[in-house]
Chains A and B, each alone.
Chain A
Amino acid sequence: MSSATSDKFDEMHRADGSVRPAYRGYQEWLEEQDPALMRRKDSEAESFFRRTGITFNVYGDDDAEERLIPFDMVPRIITGSEWRRLSRGIEQRVRALNAFMHDLYHRQEIIRSGRLPERLFRNNAAWLPEMVGFSPPGGVYTHITGIDLVRTGPDEFMVLEDNARTPSGVSYMLENRETMMAMFPELFTRIKVQPVSNYPRRLATSLAACAPEGAGSKPSIAVLTPGIFNSAYFEHAFLADQMGAELVEGSDLRVVGGKVQMRTTDGFRPIDVLYRRVDDEYLDPLTFNPDSVLGIPGIMDVYRAGNITIANAPGTGVADDKAIYSFMPEIVEFYTGEKALLPNVDTWRCADPDSLKYVLDNLEELVVKEVHGSGGYGMLIGPTASKKEVRAFRAKLEAMPENYIAQPTLALSTCPIFTRAGLAPRHVDLRPFVLCSPEGIDITPGGLTRVALKKGSLVVNSSQGGGTKDSWVLDD
């Protein structure tokens, strides 16, 4: 067994090689396992995923239309008390995000008070003037949020990113657990782990609670997918199936009699809640991108008339902006009246001349991100970038400083992965999934752990060769 030897925080092993309390039960079990058997299990996992069809599509990759996200069979373990502390911070943050969205599209108190510069959302492509003055059913904007957390020490969790647009990955959280239970049932007999499998039911309940007023006691819920070629199609189908909801495409839907309706074998039937996995831009060709064939002409009129719930609300993407992110501590305090329980990662806004100067002077040390970017694209990781890449990035940065933020290169925590040679530490993050409805905020214990499979790599995105792990919150 190897262990982390650097100053990075390893979640399983201390620097002296001893095992931290969260992993003790797992370590005991592991010591009893035959290494050859473990290697065999490792290849079993892949065929399990292939068979089940848990795949994602990679754009621009003809040969491998459907790929597997690598799964690592060492669980990422969090204790019950760590989780209780974390979930208080997450709940506070999501509450603030939802209030922030409402304020941004109504009185904009936060701007009037001078806590947030107006230009931040005026220049934001995700800002939708169509949403101004409109209140979505139940007052909920962020029905589903994914909060990306990183860890740097025993008690140091911080938020790296907020995903209020359409956070994906929850199907992996669920399937990773199923896979682990199928592969190592005895592990779950020995160690009590808080379950995640009721997420789809909680999602359905939470969405139903956000239905428009006229929807009746059993609102009809549908998941809108761009179709089978979308990279996250598996997840769309999976969630619809698990929720007992319809899986619809734009071509199934039409506005009839002031309602969004789906074409069934028995004629058109109304939909009350649309969990859309289609971006705002493609939602309504009459309001947004006129070339979109993924959306439903006229849905925004139905929405504004209060006859359908769209989850998440159009225009919530503003919150995903990394310049807005840098104001989250102020935002949380403004709407909750409390200090943020979960800190941000230090962030320099390059729009600010002093910060820009600092960033330019220290490019080799920093991670620089586009404010609207996602998926690990369009970013510079100073310490691992070549001189040429740094030079090219410097030019981009100088041309459009307001397009970028910079953060220190964090000593992200590591968690062991299984390799042929035994356990080896790799960097991880955690994306818990948070549901928001008028009935409250509901966080499924755990979330999706993404892991950088390459030694030393800090990039955990699946589109860039990252893998996933089952994430355990101990029932202790």
Chain B
Amino acid sequence: MTDQDITFAIEKPMLGRVANGIFWMYRYLERAENTARLLAAGHRMALTRGVDEASEEWRSVLTTLGLRTGYDEHYDDYTGAHVCDFVLRSKNNPESVLSMFERARTNARACRSAITLEVWEAINEGWMTLCDLLARPVRESNLNTALGAIRRESSLARGATHGSMLRNETYSFARAGTFLERADNTARILDVKYYLLLPSLAYVGTALDTGQWDNVLRSLSAERAYRWLNAGRMDARSIADFLILDERFPRSLAFCYSAMRENLSALSRLHGKEGSAHEAMRIADQQLTGKSVEDIFDQGLHEFLLDFIGGNASIASAIAEDYRFVS
């Protein structure tokens, strides 16, 4: 038996470096898109509130994105103009939407032979469009156009991926990256607003600040689906239930985990074996399966979300480890 006769479970495995590039490319795209949603919801909120509350809202946007420290180094107020500029395009913010898109494009370039021309063009054109739109500070009158463009460009890349890519491991890494990032973003949004949801079982049906809850839903593009399911009723229990446990809503934690499970098992089928990522996925899954929203509130929403975010990070590093993202 010579070297050439050895048969591998997977015939043409991709490069570890490329798998890493693809995984992160889709994380960046997803994060850019979610950031745009968060800003749009924040902006809407600020419009309907007094100055103090508006500034509180902008601060919470920064907290959700983990950008407070970086921001505070450069500004001493929380105005919409400053926050939006910092989050969207500031050179002082390495996590800006523009640099996120740029990183996605750099990864796409580095992994050019692993993606289709359609995906490459979607990302490259998206990047060109955003470079244009974000070349100068965005005026408030153009903010919605710019945020819409960010969501649209990311959606186009995702659509091209869905419509043109072979269902092989490249696709699984792309999808795993997308849903891991999405789960993380949803959990962070909930965590920053948890104090609105936490004590609220007792408040069902009372005169709560529905504007704040509406804001949570909007930052996840969930307002329409939620209204349709609940006929306009707004209460903490059902909102938390919806965003955490409803498997039909594509940005809920349960939906994201179901998609991640699916893609991880596609990988294990291809490779003929499971690894530490599958184990981490099972452990993280136990946080969600069989739980009711009451169980989660009993545990404490904040604690639950912290565990969830931690579990998510373990899955990400186990994937990187199992599939040799770096040497």
Contacts and interface: CB of A to CB of B under 8 A. Distances in A.
Contacts of B120: 53
A403 B28 CA distance: 51
B128 A50 contact: yes
A265 B112 contact: no
B13 A269 contact: yes
Interface string A252-280: 10100001001111110110000000000
Nearest to A216: B4
Contacts of A270: 3
Interface in A26-72: 50-53
B323 A228 contact: no
B219 to A, nearest CB: 32
A469 B125 CA distance: 25
B125 A51 contact: yes
A213 to B, nearest CB: 11
Given A214-B2, A241-B112, A53 B124 contact: yes
Given A246-B15, A252-B17, A263 B3 contact: no
B271 A233 contact: no
A228 B109 contact: yes
Contact of B113 (A216, A228, A241, A265): A241
Given A51-B124, A53-B109, A265 B323 contact: yes
Contacts of A238: 112
Nearest to B323: A265
A162 to B, nearest CB: 29
B201 interface: no
Contacts, number: 74
Contact of A265 (B19, B124, B128): B19
Contact of A249 (B17, B106, B113): B17
Contacts of B15: 246, 248, 252, 262-265
A300 interface: no
B324 A265 contact: yes
The B interface is mostly helix, strand or loop, or mixed, namely: helix
Given A51-B121, A52-B121, A265-B323, A237 B112 contact: yes
A283 to B, nearest CB: 19
A232 B86 CA distance: 35
Interface string B24-47: 000000000000000000000000
Contacts of A259: 3
A264 B13 contact: yes
Interface in A211-238: 214-216, 227-228, 233, 237-238
Contacts of A248: 15
A97 interface: no
A294 interface: no
A240 interface: yes
A263 B128 contact: no
A179 B154 CA distance: 27
Interface in A187-221: 214-216
A336 interface: no
A247 interface: yes
Interface centre among B8, B109, B117, B271 (most CB of A within 10 A): B109
Interface centre among B3, B8, B106, B121 (most CB of A within 10 A): B3
Interface residues on B, range: 20 to 34
Given A53-B124, A241-B113, A246-B113, A265 B13 contact: yes
Interface string B104-138: 00100110110001001100110010000000000
Nearest to A262: B15
B327 A214 contact: no
B327 A263 contact: yes
Given A252-B15, A264-B14, A266-B9, A247 B4 contact: no
Contact of B271 (A216, A237, A241, A265): A265
B125 A266 contact: no
A215 B4 contact: yes
Nearest to B128: A50
Contacts of B10: 265-266
A343 B230 CA distance: 84
Nearest to A264: B13
Nearest to A259: B3
B311 interface: no
A264 B17 CA distance: 8
A251 interface: yes
A160 B230 CA distance: 77
A309 to B, nearest CB: 15
Contacts of B250: none
The 5 closest A-B pairs by CB, nearest first: A216-B4, A266-B13, A264-B13, A237-B112, A265-B323
20 contacts: A50-B128, A51-B128, A52-B121, A52-B124, A53-B109, A214-B2, A216-B2, A233-B109, A237-B112, A240-B113, A251-B327, A252-B17, A262-B15, A263-B16, A263-B324, A263-B327, A264-B15, A265-B16, A266-B13, A269-B8
Given A50-B128, A241-B113, A264-B15, 17 more contacts: A51-B124, A52-B121, A214-B3, A215-B4, A228-B110, A233-B109, A241-B112, A245-B113, A247-B113, A262-B15, A263-B324, A266-B8, A266-B9, A267-B324, A269-B8, A269-B13, A270-B3
